[in-house]
Structure 1
Amino acid sequence: MLPSLSALRAFDAAARRGSFRAAAEHLSITPTAISHHIRGLEDTLGVKLFERTGRQVRLTEDGIRLAETTGQAFGMLNDTVRALRRTSRKVVRLAAGPIFTARWLMPRISDLWEQYPRIELEVVPHYRPRMGNHTQADIVISWERLADMPSSAIKLLELRPVAIASKGYIDQHGAIQAPEDLLTLPILHQRNHWGWLDWFAAMGVQPETPLRGAVFEDANVLFRGAAEGQGAIVGWLPLIEQDLRERRVVRLFEEDITPTHGYFVEAWEGNRTRRETQDVLDWLSSQNCALDAPGA
């Protein structure tokens, strides 16, 4: 006969958090209740699950074995319950980076609602979303170099790199006459150095030494640094057009570089069978077509 579900839940919470008090806060019960559940579970199983030293607790070998099983079991239960709730609520879960969500998706979100009012879109912010990771998303928007576009993906938006900085940055460092001038000035990077390396290559500059400067995952943080004069960055057209119009940043050159990066849409084949998921995919594709239209 299995122990009570409440006792197993209390054990799992304590095992995950390494503390009865933390488990109690997670389950909204008292630490005493957690302790009673654990002692009852130990009595039922006839084994010791935790070593107790003062207020500190540590899993025994038997506790570790049970924790592995309860972790998998409750994880499967949570996944199934979440899936059932999403199905009943017509929810579509979309994973995307914060810059895409803020600059591209948010200005269009009312159009999605007007076309598909029955769909609830849940946007999960992830810096490096890709299919197959822990996002558990129906649809993933990924940002990649065009040369690295996944074969299973649909291209949503091409991005052209331009060098940008604030007016204060230019006032501090003087007018920037040539691309190579930036090699000796503060520059900031997103995720890695490839953005600037691609930009320098397109401008005919080959850095003789490794590029320097802080690297950030969150593009919104990176952009704020540029707007506050902390460094020049590679901006991406058309995402920054409004910022340029409002003069939060300015272009350092009038470069016209072929698109190097892009946003791509991916979805598991199994997810496409849901009508709601396919509707959102169709809507995303229609937005891409709108961008390609004359005058867009």
Structure 2
Amino acid sequence: MKPSLPALRAFDAAAQHGSFRAAAEHLSVTATAISHHVRGLEDQLGTKLFVRSGRDVVLTEDGARLSEATVQAFGILDDAVRTLHRDSRKVVRLAVGPIFTARWLMPRISEFWQAHPNIELEFLPSFEPGAYANETIDIVIRWDRIEGSDPKAIKLLELSPAAIASKAFIETHPAICHPDDLKRLPLLHQRNHWGWLDWFTAMNVAVDSPLRGPIFQDANTLLRGAADGQGVVIGWLPLIDQDLADGRVVRLFDEDISPTHGYFVEMRGGLAHRAEVRRVVEWLTGGA
């Protein structure tokens, strides 16, 4: 007897989500139903497909081989069904931070429309896109430190830090001669202190006491504060190129720091095999 399609679909969902409960929510069934299907599939095949790890499940070697096959099979099936609905609305939903949307995506969006007129993009702004658990999210574009990042992650853009402020702020603080001088000035932070800590380290400045200053989630708010003369911020090249060109802010030093942060692209769960999702990722990374 061949395994049933519902059993294979239940296995595929559990493999993609790493959890029977998450697979059940994705398929709108109970976790018991997922467990029953998987157990029956294991009995039919005579091998274990998962091992439990707390509330999650991890694929065995045989499970991983079957998962590769089900991803391809259901991907082919899904693509075939969508091909029969050529006139249907193909939507790809992205979770992404507001500054990346405004500074990197928006100037390129017409280019995407011209290349892919049948794909509609929906952007869900989030200050922490990687934390999105919404099953309708297809692609996450997250901001992270390069050091310690997943080596398998798809790197989209590398960012180098630069100390910036308004001309008015610099005029009222004329004693800025060395990077060490900034420790005595109002510093504005994005999300945490890592941006400034990485910058001081790259500039060979020891930070002997905790850094102070307000922390903002929205980098656009941070840049507005810098332009209004509220303090010194870390700007991320090349995202601030236009701000510098327009004179809204200026660089305090001519530092040349290797990239410390970046934007990474992640395709979510079982949706990664959808043709339109692949096309969007290829476009984002320059492959289309």
TM-score by length of 1: 0.66
Aligned to 1:96: 96
Structure 1 CA distance for aligned equivalents of residues 208 and 266 of structure 2: 38
Q: Deviations over 1:271-291 (max 9, x none)?
A: 22211111101101117x9xx
Q: Does 1:185 align with 2:220?
A: no
Give how far 1:107 is off.
Answer: 0.3
Aligned to 2:57: none
Report the secondary structure of 1:204's partner residue: coil
Alpha-carbon spacing, 1:135–1:162, altered in 2? closer, same or farther (3 Å): farther
Counterpart of 1:212, as a letter, is: R
Q: Does 1:205 align with 2:200?
A: no
Aligned to 2:66: none
Report the secondary structure of 2:168's partner residue: helix
Give how far 1:151 is off.
Answer: 4.2
Structure 1 CA distance for aligned equivalents of residues 135 and 149 of structure 2: 19
Structure 2 CA distance for aligned equivalents of residues 136 and 169 of structure 1: 44
Alpha-carbon spacing, 1:131–1:138, altered in 2? closer, same or farther (3 Å): farther
Alpha-carbon spacing, 1:132–1:95, altered in 2? closer, same or farther (3 Å): closer
Q: Deviations over 1:188-237 (max 9, x none)?
A: 00000000000000000111110000000000000000000001000010
Report the secondary structure of 1:157's partner residue: strand
Q: Deviations over 1:142-190 (max 9, x none)?
A: 0000013234420000001000000011111114100010101001000
Residues 129, 141 of structure 2: 8 Å contact kept: yes
Counterpart of 1:281, as a letter, is: V
Structure 1 CA distance for aligned equivalents of residues 93 and 175 of structure 2: 46
Aligned to 1:268: 268
Residues 95, 123 of structure 1: 8 Å contact kept: yes
Tell which deviates more after alignment, 124-133 or 152-161.
124-133
Give how far 1:132 is off.
Answer: 5.6
Counterpart of 2:245, as a letter, is: R
Q: Deviations over 1:97-129 (max 9, x none)?
A: 000000000000000000000000000000011
Larger radius of gyration between Structure 1 and Structure 2 = 1
Report the secondary structure of 2:226's partner residue: helix
Counterpart of 1:179, as a letter, is: P
Percent of aligned positions that are identical: 59
Aligned to 1:256: 256
Runs of 4+ more than 6 Å apart = none
Aligned to 2:158: 158
Counterpart of 1:202, as a letter, is: A
Aligned to 2:234: 234
Aligned to 1:33: none
Residues 95, 132 of structure 2: 8 Å contact kept: no
Unaligned runs of 5+ residues in structure 1 are 1-71, 78-83, 290-296
Structure 2 CA distance for aligned equivalents of residues 175 and 183 of structure 1: 12
Structure 1 CA distance for aligned equivalents of residues 281 and 112 of structure 2: 11
Residues 131, 268 of structure 1: 8 Å contact kept: no
Residues 156, 284 of structure 1: 8 Å contact kept: yes
- RMSD across aligned positions (CA): 2.4
Alpha-carbon spacing, 1:207–1:198, altered in 2? closer, same or farther (3 Å): same
Alpha-carbon spacing, 1:135–1:159, altered in 2? closer, same or farther (3 Å): farther
Residues 153, 266 of structure 1: 8 Å contact kept: yes
Counterpart of 1:123, as a letter, is: F
Tell which deviates more after alignment, 209-218 or 151-160.
151-160
Report the secondary structure of 1:147's partner residue: coil
Residues 95, 124 of structure 1: 8 Å contact kept: yes
Aligned to 1:170: 170
Residues 188, 214 of structure 1: 8 Å contact kept: yes
Aligned to 1:128: 128
Counterpart of 1:213, as a letter, is: G
Report the secondary structure of 1:130's partner residue: helix
Give how far 1:134 is off.
Answer: 3.5
Structure 1 CA distance for aligned equivalents of residues 269 and 135 of structure 2: 16
Q: Deviations over 1:251-290 (max 9, x none)?
A: 0000000100000000035222211111101101117x9x
Task: State the aligned residue count.
Answer: 208
Residues 131, 267 of structure 1: 8 Å contact kept: no
